[in-house]
Amino acid sequence: MTFPKLELIHRHRWHSLVNVPPARTLLDLLREELRAGDTKEGCASGDCGACTVVLSQADGSKAHTA
């Protein structure tokens, strides 16, 4: 099974990742694929806000938050 491409900006760099399973966590993706070893798990339940990310859609040279 093939999964859609995931595109993201991390530390001001554009990344295109292919075949990322939908059950894979963002934490694992950041640590393993983007080598962001300083990214840590906080409370593991979503209460503390440490896992907050911004979702947006690119529109030319601007990004619009979703």
Q: The CATH number of the domain where 59 resides is what?
A: 3.10.20
Q: Are 46 and 25 in contact (CB under 8 A)?
A: no
Whether 25 maps to a domain, the answer reads: yes
Rg (CA), the chain: 13
Number of domains forming the structure of the chain: 1
The whole-number pLDDT of residue 16 equals 92
Q: Are 21 and 12 in contact (CB under 8 A)?
A: no
Domain that holds residue 54: 6-65
Kindly state the percentage of the chain with pLDDT values over 90.
Answer: 12
Whole-number Å distance between alpha carbons of 58 and 24: 23
- Residue 56 predicted with pLDDT over 80: no
Whether 10 maps to a domain, the answer reads: yes
Whether 1 maps to a domain, the answer reads: no
Whether 36 maps to a domain, the answer reads: yes
Whole-number Å distance between alpha carbons of 33 and 24: 11
